[in-house]
A and B are shown apart, each in its own frame.
Chain A
């Protein structure tokens, strides 16, 4: 019933306005770049000093001095630019980007985001640019499965994992719904076909209301190859 990763990415891509400067977080949000609608020109920012990030190059054209934030080889599109780290984070922290799409472990009904550490993490703590992006970007949207693998809701009254930033998330795109974070809490704007609001509430750990013009969350069949 729910959307797959590529379909969530596709759905997010539909909402990105032409001409936007966008940072895509490491991992699942990187897929969004593959689904920007024809005719829209979006400038992708990479925290390691790149505006105008393009897709990964063919194997024989890889250059390890041209990477993305996930340390994978990428390309530069015509019009792109390189700059140093302090300028790159000035863009992030000074609110110069329009939008960032971040993965999430948990999101609270007041827009708190937890996406850098869990309680059960045995790895070393690692925050990278997550706090800068979450705190500094004017519009922050989260891309995540609606529930964790064990079925635990990720949308909660309060986050239990360490916060990345407080009160920053504007919208959440999941496999089941598009949900706005408003002063009145979570408001569903779209729910996947075949699921009722009550069924979505069962999978949500906080109060959830429906927008007046509640729509159906739809995405075309994309298949793995589309990513």
Chain B
């Protein structure tokens, strides 16, 4: 007979189970009910992968709640670098972001990144959009690196290991893994399965797969089984916490 200390590790992950009142069972439930629960445990120095293309699919409320959560010295990976004074820009304004990795930091109203960069208060790494996306996918897929033609022979490819394949130079890119992913989806269920809304899908499925702790804000939550399995975009295995945040008008 095995002692309780010998129970193998695969029986351990009970972290998101809750009492199923009345039936006496424990059920997986990734739905949380507050920003505090959603963002608990994010540490200083974390790398945070953020969904969104412009404001579409950007987890604006989670990013603003992260200011209250208090984590500092963050590295943020996001296609854009925020606009106005809300969402990512608010987190940056609060001085929590040490470095941002993005493809396109200029948008109308991207004042905060401009100011912080001019003042030497934020490090900016610009990389091709598809390279950022594929580096995150590589992290998700357990790939140690890949060669791509994108940026070969350009300023952004300088200093990278280059090899020729089929007559074309390719640069080596390494995976980009997150400690945390923050994303916005349309609907999340009890198991963390997600569906999205039109082009607000963008980076959501990729960041969800590429981080140790994935936190989704959704317009609505439903029970397991209510989403058509044929249309689930992000399977719940990639998602740790789901917080309903009513959509802004």
On A, residues with C-beta under 8 Å from B are 46-50, 63-67, 71, 76, 82-86, 88-90, 92-93, 117, 123-132, 135-136, 162-166
30 contacts between A and B (CB under 8 A): A49-B201, A65-B199, A66-B199, A67-B199, A82-B196, A82-B198, A82-B199, A83-B201, A84-B196, A84-B204, A84-B206, A85-B53, A85-B79, A85-B205, A86-B134, A86-B137, A93-B150, A123-B106, A124-B105, A124-B113, A126-B103, A127-B156, A129-B103, A131-B150, A132-B150, A135-B152, A136-B150, A163-B155, A165-B153, A165-B154
Is the CB of B200 closer than 8 A to any CB of chain A? yes
Q: Main SS of the interface on chain A?
A: loop
By a CB distance below 8 angstroms, the chain B residues around A131 are 128, 130-131, 150-151, 154, 156
Is the CB of B75 closer than 8 A to any CB of chain A? no
B156 close to A86 (CB less than 8 A): no
B130 close to A129 (CB less than 8 A): yes
Sample of 5 further A-B pairs with CB below 8 A, known A82-B201, A88-B133: A48-B199, A65-B197, A84-B196, A85-B129, A165-B150
A132 close to B128 (CB less than 8 A): yes
By a CB distance below 8 angstroms, the chain A residues around B203 are 84-85
A136 close to B126 (CB less than 8 A): no
A166 close to B152 (CB less than 8 A): yes
B140-166: which have CB < 8 Å to A? Answer: 148-156
A163 close to B153 (CB less than 8 A): yes
Is the CB of B104 closer than 8 A to any CB of chain A? yes
B126 close to A127 (CB less than 8 A): yes
A127-B126 Cα distance, complex, nearest whole Å = 7
By a CB distance below 8 angstroms, the chain B residues around A132 are 128-131, 150
A127 close to B104 (CB less than 8 A): yes
A166 close to B153 (CB less than 8 A): yes
A136-B133 Cα distance, complex, nearest whole Å = 15
A151-B153 Cα distance, complex, nearest whole Å = 28
On B, residues with C-beta under 8 Å from A are 53-57, 79, 81, 103-107, 113-114, 117, 124, 126-131, 133-134, 136-137, 148-156, 196-206, 233
**B227 to A: closest C-beta gap in Å:** 16
By a CB distance below 8 angstroms, the chain B residues around A88 are 133
**B93 to A: closest C-beta gap in Å:** 16
Given contacts A93-B148, A162-B154, contact A125 B126 (CB under 8 A): yes
A130-B150 Cα distance, complex, nearest whole Å = 9
A130-B53 Cα distance, complex, nearest whole Å = 15
Q: Of B129, B155, B198, which is within 8 A of A66 by CB? A: B198
By a CB distance below 8 angstroms, the chain A residues around B53 are 48-49, 67, 71, 85
**Chain B: which residue is nearest A68 at the CB level?**
B199
A34-B130 Cα distance, complex, nearest whole Å = 27
A48-B55 Cα distance, complex, nearest whole Å = 12
By a CB distance below 8 angstroms, the chain B residues around A125 are 105, 124, 126
**Chain A: which residue is nearest B208 at the CB level?**
A84
